[in-house]
Structure 1
Amino acid sequence: MAEAQKTTLKKWPRVAKAGGKKACTVEGCKRPYRAKSYCFFHFKKWRQGELPHSRYRTCSKPDCRVKTSKAGLCEKHYAETYKKADAAA
């Protein structure tokens, strides 16, 4: 019996989508698009939360990037908003 040779990849190949025609959307980056309109480098930074777009919905209050819990607000801002309304009633 002849054994078929297996070729194994040592690393996952970073393949650009769209045939390398689209570029990363980060200003000044010319690497090809990979996912979420980012190149592999910026996509990794996006996943780690280092870019302004987060992986989850964030609080709708300005300058708050905490994950939402209710009504588009984080727990802190939700408590501030709705506890005031309950106390006034």
Structure 2
Amino acid sequence: MTGTVTCEPGTPGVPGTVGTSGTPGAPGTPVVRRNRRATRPAPAGVDPRPSQHALTSRASEDRPEGWGDASASKQVSSYDAELQRDKPPHWG
């Protein structure tokens, strides 16, 4: 339950319900509940607010190297050439 709750004076189980006039828990006085979500600082090397700026580079999954393809600077090895040569006929 979030937001404000109106409680009777001295309501058992509700913290801050004292029942004296002008204090939390007085008849008709709202009890304000605060956000209890736990927050932790960002680890070192991680952008603490990634959604506040536009992405300027492609993700590693969007680059050919992320899918196992050779990059422009990578040399094709003899094993890669052997795999290309010995591929099964149903692979076309």
Global fold match (TM > 0.5): no
Q: Which has the larger helix fraction?
A: 1
Higher normalized contact order (CA 8 Å, seq sep 6+, divided by chain length): 2
Query: TM-score normalised to the size of structure 1?
Result: 0.26
Query: TM-score normalised to the size of structure 2?
Result: 0.25
Q: Which has the larger strand fraction?
A: 2
State which structure, 1 or 2, has the greater radius of gyration over its C-alpha atoms.
2
